[in-house]
């Protein structure tokens, strides 16, 4: 069925109606229709010269290409990935499958194999996966340890230029918070600023009890914020990615942002430990995060994989943060890929359909599904400060078309037969063959 649709789209030219589409209401703007019980709008969408020209109630257009009630989404926005370490699994597996094993394996691989060519080949592979799956924008964290960080950032400045017009790439530094406390902090922040990046770090803080903080922690945070302020940088932080009850990095980040009246955007990722903390403590933290205007991104597949893993023991919790409570508090929440085929997550393909499908199952983003689709488009676009992830008149006609009509049809299958439109034209792209990467791994298969 999708082949016929694909053929019709190829012949449609530059001005045509996409008829009888179902669009998630939270991913549309200016739509003259009311959502149904599944939060879907029935629309006809006018495409003209690569842009969305108009939205009309389904049945308005007299001719055009019919989706026969299939869903139509805006191109996906993936706001938290790690393209620099993606796909190294065949040569550097995670022996234990847990966080410590991941850190150890990646550190070894980075030291042994991350030449500019190696990084570029793996990242380009990952971007071609994302493109074929319908993604239009990707934010990637980059392991930033000096002096090697200069190589990685150069590779990604080049990739960003090479991919312009296909995938908008944003880069973020990641290194432990204490690295920013010394003279390296200035050099790293300068590198990020000169590269047009976002300043990021990772904090895994365990105080053991909620009111105990290492004495140098808040000063280090203040120093980190000051580095960003001096350069006008936004922040993107890995926060409390653990099941430690005493972790309170998230709260301290919100408090520092409030105290300093930080003017940039701040995205925080993971925040896993919030889900294992006492209700009152979690509620108070969420209130401060909302007050500080932090954007939160949950990485459900990676969290489910790494958190609560112990040999011979069945995991008891899902690893994800309190996304429902955060959204209810008015926080801008997203879901994203995180790692792909590396020691932090052995699977994945930068496919936001998979991410949203798994997020729905892991986080119960259903019954009712109201508004959650925004977490794969509008919300991450807002966190990244870009205009994408929404179907509205005037927006680029970067769209993903599905055969699936209702949400159970959409969530039941991988939607591998989806059609990606870029600027109103069918995109000829399939995910690359994993065999392409064989030369990087001496033929090893992961
Ligand atoms: Zn991450």
Do 242 and 279 reside in the same domain of the chain? Answer: yes
Alpha-carbon Rg of the chain, whole angstroms?
22
Handedness of CA 407, 413, 414, 418 (dihedral sign): negative
Residue 177 has φ and ψ, to the nearest 5°, of -50, -40
User: Are residues 163 and 95 both part of a single domain?
Assistant: yes
DSSP 3-state of 443: coil
Q: Which residues surround ligand 1, an ion (CB under 5 A)?
A: 338
Give the CATH number, domain containing residue 409: 2.30.40.10
Query: How far, in Å, from the CA of 57 to the mean position of ligand 1?
Result: 40
The per-residue pLDDT for 205 is 52
Q: For 82-104, what is each residue's pLDDT tens digit?
A: 999 999 999 999 999 999 999 99
pLDDT band per the 50, 70, 90 thresholds, residue 209: very low
How far is the centre of ligand 1, averaged over its atoms, from the C-alpha of 200 (Å)?
A: 11
Q: Output the domain CATH number for residue 158.
A: 3.20.20.140
Q: Is 68 in the same domain as 101?
A: no
In the structure encoding, which two tokens stand for residue 199, read together? 């300043």
Same domain (yes/no): 169, 312: yes
Given a cut of 80, is residue 81 above it in pLDDT? Answer: yes
CA–CA dist 162, 285 (Å, integer): 41
Position 16 pLDDT exceeds 50: yes
pLDDT-derived band at 275 (thresholds 50, 70, 90) equals very high
Q: Is residue 29 situated within a structural domain?
A: yes
Segment 379-394, tens digit of pLDDT:
999 999 999 999 999 9
How close is the Cα of 135 to the center of ligand 1, in Å? 18
pLDDT of res. 174: 97
Within this chain, do residues 315 and 355 fall inside the same structural domain, yes or no? Answer: yes
pLDDT in tens, 49-74: 999 999 999 999 999 999 999 999 99
Range(s) of the domain holding residue 60: 2-74+390-426
Arithmetic mean of pLDDT, 355-365: 98
Distance 258 CA to ligand 1 centre (A): 24
Q: Is 291 a catalytic residue?
A: no
| pLDDT for residue 443 | 82
Work out the average pLDDT over 348-363: 98
- Whether the pLDDT of residue 208 is over 80: the answer is no
**Same domain, residue pair 272 and 357:** yes
Max Cα-Cα span within the chain = 69
- What pLDDT score was predicted for residue 207? 45
Strands 40-48 vs 51-57: parallel, antiparallel or unpaired: antiparallel
From the list 62, 186, 222, 241, the catalytic residue is 241
**Sequence-ordered list of residues with C-beta below 8 angstroms from that of 259, at least 6 positions apart, any chain:** none
β 266-270/235-239 pair status: parallel
pLDDT averaged over every residue in the chain: 96
- In Å, how far from its chain's centre is CA 19? 30
pLDDT at residue 204 in the model: 60
Q: Is the pLDDT of residue 376 over 90?
A: yes
Tokens of 139: 């934010």
One domain, residues 27 and 152: no
Instruction: Measure the CA–CA gap between 408 and 84, rounded to whole angstroms.
Output: 35
Residues 331 and 403 reside in one and the same domain: no
**Given this model, what pLDDT does residue 215 score?**
83
Q: How many domains does the chain have?
A: 2
pLDDT-based confidence at residue 43 (cuts at 50, 70, 90): very high
125 alpha carbon – ligand 1 mean position (Å): 19
- Does residue 434 sit within a domain? no
In a domain, 439, yes or no: no
Residue 278 pLDDT greater than 60, yes or no? yes
* pLDDT tens sequence across 408-429: 999 999 999 999 999 999 999 9
Residues 42 and 130 in one domain: no
Same domain, 153 and 56: no
Q: CA–CA separation, 275 vs 268, rounded Å? A: 15
pLDDT of residue 213: 74
Report the pLDDT averaged over residues 303-330: 97
Q: Does 338 share its domain with 395?
A: no
Q: How confident is the model at residue 399 (pLDDT cuts 50, 70, 90)?
A: very high
Q: Please, are residues 375 and 334 in contact by the beta-carbon 8 Å criterion?
A: yes
Cα(80) to ligand 1 centroid in Å equals 6
pLDDT of residue 212: 64
Instruction: Give me ligand 1 centre to Cα 430, in Å.
Output: 25
- Assess whether 151 and 292 both reside in one domain: yes
């Amino acid at each position: 069925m999708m082949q016929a649709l694909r053929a019709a789209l190829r012949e449609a030219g530059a001005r045509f109606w996409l008829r009888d589409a179902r669009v998630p209401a939270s991913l549309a703007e200016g739509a003259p229709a009311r959502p149904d019980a599944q939060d879907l709008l029935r629309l006809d969408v006018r495409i003209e010269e690569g842009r969305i020209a108009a939205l009309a109630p389904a049945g308005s257009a007299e001719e055009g290409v019919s989706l026969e009630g299939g869903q139509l989404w805006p191109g996906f926005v993936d706001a938290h990935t790690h393209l620099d370490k993606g796909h190294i699994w065949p040569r550097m597996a995670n022996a234990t499958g847990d966080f410590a094993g991941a850190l150890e394996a990646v550190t070894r691989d980075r030291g042994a194999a991350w030449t500019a060519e190696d990084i570029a080949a793996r990242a380009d592979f990952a971007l071609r996966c994302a493109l074929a799956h319908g993604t239009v924008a990707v934010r990637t964290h980059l392991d930033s340890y000096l002096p090697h960080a200069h190589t990685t950032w150069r590779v990604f400045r080049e990739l960003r230029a090479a991919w312009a017009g296909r995938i908008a790439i944003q880069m973020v530094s990641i290194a432990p918070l204490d690295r920013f406390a010394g003279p390296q902090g200035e050099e790293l922040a300068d590198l990020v600023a000169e590269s047009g990046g976002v300043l990021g770090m990772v904090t895994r803080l365990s105080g053991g009890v909620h009111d105990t903080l290492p004495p140098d922690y808040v000063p280090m945070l203040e120093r980190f914020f000051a580095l960003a302020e001096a350069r006008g940088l936004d922040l993107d932080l890995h926060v409390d990615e653990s099941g430690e009850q005493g972790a309170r990095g998230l709260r301290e980040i919100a408090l520092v942002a409030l105290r300093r009246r930080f003017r940039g955007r701040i995205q925080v990722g993971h925040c896993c430990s919030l889900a294992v903390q006492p209700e009152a403590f979690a509620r108070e933290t969420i209130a401060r995060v909302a007050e500080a205007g932090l954007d939160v991104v949950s990485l459900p597949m990676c969290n489910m994989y790494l958190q609560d893993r112990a040999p011979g023991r069945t995991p008891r919790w899902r690893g994800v943060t309190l996304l429902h409570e955060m959204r209810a508090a008015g926080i801008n929440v997203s879901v994203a890929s995180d790692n792909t085929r590396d020691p932090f997550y052995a699977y994945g393909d930068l496919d936001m359909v998979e991410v949203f499908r798994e997020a729905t199952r892991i986080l119960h983003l259903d019954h009712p599904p109201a508004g959650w689709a925004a977490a794969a488009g509008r919300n991450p676009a807002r966190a990244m400060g870009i205009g994408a992830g929404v179907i509205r008149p005037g927006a680029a006609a970067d769209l993903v078309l599905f055969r699936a009509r209702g949400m159970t049809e959409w969530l039941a299958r991988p939607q591998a037969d989806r059609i990606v439109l870029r600027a109103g034209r069918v995109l000829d792209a399939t995910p690359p063959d994993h065999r392409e990467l064989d030369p990087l791994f001496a033929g090893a298969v992961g």
